[in-house]
Amino acid sequence: MKTQVAIIGGGPAGLLLSQLLDLHGIDNIVLERRTRDYVLGRIRAGVLEQGSVDLLRAADVGERMDREGQVHDGVELSWHDERLQIPIKDLTGRGVMIYGQTEVTHDLYDARDARGGAVIHEADVFAIDGIESDSPVVRYLKDGQEHTLECDFVAGCDGFHGPARKAIPAAQRREFIREYPFGWLGLLSETPPAAHELIYASHDRGFALCSMRSDVLSRYYVQVPLTEKVEDWSADRFWDELKMRIPEDVAAHLVTGPAIEMSIAPLRSFVSEPMRYGRLFLAGDAAHIVPPTGAKGLNLAFSDVYYLHRTLDAFYSTNDTDALDAYSDLALARVWKCERFSWWMTNLLHDFPDRSDFERRMQKTEFEYLLQSETARKSLAENYVGLPY
Ligand code: FAD
Ligand code: DHB
């Protein structure tokens, strides 16, 4: 089999890249290790930046999002019972869209189907050969058989655990990593949201987040030690813990119910440089991970895809090889700024078990500064709604 761009990974990054390349007349095939149902069953991100919203519209996949998504003009932080509303729209002129990653992925699959796009499921990529040549070959297993896909370029959109990043020789790669000593336990429930806006809550018992997917579907998270196991958490235990961490009046009106889904995700900051080696380009979680506190992971995957589809379009339409050379630096400049914001939000809002008294006081002072300074709130808002592409 042969194509122009072989895309490894049928998550949001791979599917959006596939759709955009197709709209620019560039042939591509997506290889995805899992079944479609498995990919659609993963409950993950919920907040889209304006840039992501615009890109999805440009890719002809914005229709349901515009109909069913919720535009939010503000977000709330709390520190015990102290609350701080940040009017992100007033401060920046932009808002964010509440629309789940599951729905985005669903819409992207529908869009690929409608255009006859090739997405091969249960195709497990195990080797990427010839990335230093003009004709790389991707090797994968499907139905117990080995297959090859010849191409001009490989797009590694295969997430943190995928093989693409590892195909870059170790000597040519530099990794930056910070692991946090806690994870997030998430719960999805068919209950109305705790509040109209998202609440990021800091408390001595640990961080908590009240989010939502719609007026009847809520998503909550609580910080837990890495030793915690999801089997040890009932929905009741979760609700009791959440109520202790969020402002009292929000807790008093919280509607609880059974959990549709519960899972624990570890928190990590990670960047692998460069994002391009020869004919291999990385995008999304394959190249970087942010802790979820700033709601940046999916959005960062989409800004990479924005740069990458333009890079490949420039190459195919004008034979512009400078664009190929520029991709990694262009994408990484934005990646590092989002890494900084996600790290900063994580430090601001979580309980770090081994933090000194001095560091705890600094954390409290940071919150007090936000309370007092519109400049500080504006900086938070500017990053939360998304830095320009
Ligand atoms: P993935 O979604 O990981 O997709 C990669 C795909 O590659 C997968 O489908 C995988 O099966 C496939 N693959 C892997 N290996 C192979 C192989 N060998 N062969 C073929 N295919 C392969 N981000 C936000 O922006 N906002 C949020 O609010 C937010 N909240 C989050 C909450 C949680 C609990 C979690 C876990 C994440 C959250 N994120 C959030 C992050 C966001 O979900 C990710 O950044 C996003 O999924 C990245 O998309 P991706 O396409 O790069 O990677
Ligand atoms: C959600 C997840 C996040 O990481 C975040 O910062 C905001 C919302 C969510 O799943 O709804």
Residue nearest to atom 8 of ligand 2 (CA): 46
Q: What is the CATH number of domain 5-70+98-177+268-347?
A: 3.50.50.60
Q: How much of the chain exceeds pLDDT 70, in percent?
A: 100
Which residues carry out catalysis?
72, 200, 292, 296, 384
SS3 340: helix
Q: What is the pLDDT of residue 80?
A: 84
Cα–Cα dist 20/54, whole Å:
13
- Nearest listed ligand to the Cα of residue 120: 1
Nearest residue to 30 (alpha-carbon basis) of 19, 40, 38 = 19
Q: What is the pLDDT of residue 170?
A: 96
* pLDDT tens string 49-90: 999 999 999 999 999 999 999 999 999 999 988 999 999 999
Spacing, Cα 40 to ligand 1 middle (Å): 11
Helical spans, DSSP H, in 280-320: 297-318
- The ligand 2 atom nearest the CA atom of 295: 6
Of 33, 128, 267, which is best to mutate to test ligand 1, by the most ligand atoms within 8 angstroms of its C-beta? 33
Strands (E), the chain: 5-8, 28-31, 47-48, 70-72, 75-79, 82-86, 96-98, 118-120, 124-129, 137-142, 145-150, 153-156, 174-189, 199-202, 208-212, 218-225, 261-273, 276-277, 280-282, 288-289
Verify whether ligand 2 is closer than 6 Å to residue 211 (CB atom): yes
- Nearest listed ligand to the Cα of residue 268: 1
Name the class of domain 180-266+351-385: alpha beta
The first and second tokens of residue 340, run together, are 């900084």
Spacing, Cα 153 to ligand 2 middle (Å): 33
Amino acid of residue 247: P
The first and second tokens of residue 135, run together, are 């004709």
Verify whether ligand 1 is closer than 6 Å to residue 187 (CB atom): no
CB 80 within 8 A of CB 249: no
CB 235 within 8 A of CB 256: yes
Q: What are the extents of the domains in the chain?
A: 5-70+98-177+268-347, 180-266+351-385
- Nearest listed ligand to the Cα of residue 346: 2
* pLDDT tens string 207-266: 999 999 999 999 999 999 999 999 999 999 999 999 999 999 999 999 999 999 999 999
Nearest residue to 209 (alpha-carbon basis) of 288, 267, 131, 151 = 267
